[in-house]
Amino acid sequence: GMRFPDHPVPNNITKKGGFLLATTSANLAGALSPSSPHQLSKTLAKNIDLILEGGGTLIGKESSIVDATYLPPRLLREGSLSSEEIEQTCKKESNILFVCTGNTCRSPMAEAIARRLWQGRIRDKMKIHSAGTVALPGFRASPLSTKMMKKRGIDINLHRSTPLTTKTVEEADLILVMEQEHRKQILHTSPSAEGKVFLLKYFALGIEEDIDDPMGGSPQNYQECTQQIEESIRGLIWKLSKN
């Protein structure tokens, strides 16, 4: 899990130290959360080398815990932030970006399949789009990509290629790339995107493999590529929409 404290002590430590802190709860599982060092359980306190007194907690309530692996996110424990506040925040549109090289084959198909398979209210709360690491603007999807989508009842004739920009990367909540090389290129120019850029097959299916570029290949190459993308999108939808 990730903690987002607003107390000045941990915030100043991370800011001045230039690193993140690996922390645990101040209580054992099932025990009450202490609001000061004096309330620590003896079992826990005897295993601590240093206690830094930063004053009492600012709010005096437990932190809220949200499981962000679900879409929409689920509230596991209501704390200082109410369920209404979290629900309001989660109404924000999620931004999912698919990335390939030229944005004329793989990523447009991934975008189109995701739009088709993601139904109902969840899709309505998403921005699903695509871009290419070396794409030139305004090009149509490749003829064979268009044909593969047409076989699935999806029309991508209106697609136009879009270059990937740092702004696009910054605005996306989740970036799914077709090759490891795409991830390296993105992180080279946008290191802060480290935690949101993933290989599509790995994120969706747990398979650390690229989806090879079919550009210039045979219809069979395109068919295999499309099948891999569709399987990955189905895995992605299951992963983000479970329960």
Q: What is the pLDDT of residue 120?
A: 59
The CB-side HSE value for 224 (13 A sphere, CA atoms) comes to 11
Q: Which long-range contacts (CB under 8 A, 24 or more apart) does 167-175 make?
A: 168/97, 168/131, 169/97, 169/193, 169/197, 171/95, 172/95, 172/96, 172/97, 172/196, 173/94, 173/95, 173/96, 174/94, 174/95, 174/96, 174/97, 174/198, 175/97, 175/99
Among 133, 154, 158, 4, residue whose Cα is nearest residue 68: 4
Phi, psi torsion values for 140, nearest 5 degrees: -75, 165
**Fold designation for 92-241:** Rossmann fold (3.40.50)
Q: Are residues 53 and 39 in contact, defined by beta-carbon separation less than 8 angstroms?
A: no
**Catalytic residue check, 74:** no
Q: Where are the domains of the chain?
A: 1-60, 92-241
The pTM score is 0.69
Among 135, 171, 147, 148, residue whose Cα is nearest residue 225: 148
Q: Which has the higher per-residue pLDDT, 146 or 67?
A: 146
**Tokens 């999807």, residue located:** 141
pLDDT tens figures, 193-214: 999 999 999 999 999 999 999 9
Is pLDDT of 191 > 60? Answer: yes
Give the residue-averaged pLDDT of 45-63. Answer: 73
Q: Indicate the pLDDT class of residue 60, thresholds 50, 70 and 90.
A: low
Helix intervals (H) in the chain:
8-17, 42-45, 83-90, 106-117, 120-124, 143-151, 166-171, 180-189, 200-205, 219-241
Cis status of the peptide bond prior to 72, with omega within 30 of 0: yes
**Catalytic residue check, 213:** yes
One of 100, 105, 183, 225 is an active-site residue; which one? 100
Tell me how crowded residue 5 is: count the other CB atoms within 10 A of its CB: 14
**Which of 39-43, 114-118, 221-225 has the least mean pLDDT?**
39-43
**Catalytic residue check, 90:** no
pLDDT tens figures, 22-38: 777 777 776 777 777 77
One of 105, 106, 183, 225 is an active-site residue; which one? 106
Q: Are residues 225 and 105 in contact, defined by beta-carbon separation less than 8 angstroms?
A: yes
Q: Kindly list the strands in the beta sheet with 94-100, ordered across the sheet, starting from the edge strand earlier in the chain.
A: 126-132, 94-100, 174-177, 197-199
Is pLDDT of 122 > 60? Answer: no
Q: Which has the higher per-residue pLDDT, 59 or 237?
A: 237
Q: What is the pLDDT of residue 72?
A: 65
Q: Indicate the pLDDT class of residue 45, thresholds 50, 70 and 90.
A: confident
Q: What is the pLDDT of residue 243?
A: 42
Among 122, 110, 144, residue whose Cα is nearest residue 214: 144
Is pLDDT of 123 > 70? Answer: no
Q: What is the pLDDT of residue 217?
A: 97
One of 116, 212, 213, 234 is an active-site residue; which one? 213
Q: Indicate the pLDDT class of residue 91, thresholds 50, 70 and 90.
A: low
